[in-house]
Amino acid sequence: MGVLAILAPGQGAQKPGMLTDWLELPGAEPFFRWAGAIADADLLSLGTSGDAEAIKDTAVTQPLVVAMSLFVARELGGLPGPVAHTPHAGRDVVITGHSVGELTAAALAGVLSVEAAIALTAVRGRAMAAACAQIPTGMSAVLGGDPAEVTTALEKHGLTPANMNGGGQVVAAGPLDGLAALKADPPAKARIMPLSVAGAFHTDYMASARAELEGLVGGLRPAAPSRLLLSNADGAAVTTGAEALARLVSQVTSPVRFDACLATLRELGVTAAIELPPAGALAGLAKREWKGSGIEILTLTGPADLDRARELIAAERGRAEAQHLPDWRVVVAPARGTVSPADVPEGTRLPAGTPLGCIRGRREEVNVSAGYDGVLAEWLVHEGDLVDAGDPIARLYPEVAE
């Protein structure tokens, strides 16, 4: 069955003038004026005439990126979008975002209204900007190097792996002096690239921002996802609106595991992926992580790309309707370590996202879950078995959603 992935970018993907070309589309200018009113920021001016410094401001960049992604998703026509969410039981589209892009993803999956997603993003951006102002911190991308050596170097300099992006990229976050020391003494075969961000996102330095969001989200009424929605926490599917909202709050101080999201997408059998604008960063990660897979990856860089995106949406939907489900699919280990299967009897029906156990490695514990609806046909491992990344753990019979 064809599966199309929709990737929603986060902060750092923004570029000066990124809205300009899109304003030729009908309804674009009023949409961004409306979104700006919700966010209490002049998103239209920032996205057209704002320079690199202006659009680096966390307080305004986050709602600008989310609003842009949501507008273009609406233009695609084949997704639940900013005007009305259409619940869709099919699994032909799976949505995931990176960092603040998870709010875009939540809106596209129907968990939040577009108004709520933009408003919550604006609060998040202002709260994180305030947290950044408390202590000078920052982030740097670590490109390449042995993963164990990179981890050791980060620990040595008091830094946190805030983003594990896949494709050989880890983002270190923490005090500026630690980042400077890392750049001066990088791990072997690794390149350090300082990022243009205001502080150490996705670490405990953002605790005040997380607390502010926790005091706010109780007033929201999230819906269950109408599309398969993957979480940055572990790459697993989110099954309820309440869980999605809780994860949106906790991710402010938790690492982004986009590598796990990419692994889940590949396991789901994704045949094409579309990155919403401001596009480029996530497509680059996916191309490196999925090298040789044959998965088509489209970056929406301007209105001229919309026709191809609509073709991919139509093609994947057509495949999903025309092809029967495979007789069975395999759940694989996302990492090397000792497996601890969940206490789930064979023959049990498993909704997408059902926990199936964990893999305990030397440095971390990685959760495993069902990436799609199905019936557990057979366990292929036992408690304490040693597995490598990609080894089969369980076999599932897929179910057709009604």
**366 contacts: CB under 8 Å, gap ≥ 6:** 234, 260, 334, 335, 337, 358, 359
Helix, strand, or coil (residue 31): helix
Residue in 245, 211, 252, 278 with CA at minimum distance from that of residue 116: 245
Catalytic residues: 99, 202
| In contact, 253 and 207? CB cutoff 8 Å | yes
**Which helix (H) or strand (E) element contains residue 135?**
none
Exposed / middle / buried, residue 133 (Cβ in 10 Å: 0-12, 13-18, 19+) = exposed
Helix, strand, or coil (residue 42): coil
Residue in 259, 127, 260 with CA at minimum distance from that of residue 199: 127
First-last CA distance in the chain? 16
| Dihedral sign computed on CA atoms, order 57, 63, 66, 72 | negative
Alpha-carbon span 45 to 33, nearest angstrom: 9
Neighbours of 245 (CB within 10 A): 22
Identify each DSSP E strand in 277-334 by its residue range: 296-299, 329-332
**10 contacts: CB under 8 Å, gap ≥ 6:** 65, 97, 98, 99, 100, 101, 102, 256
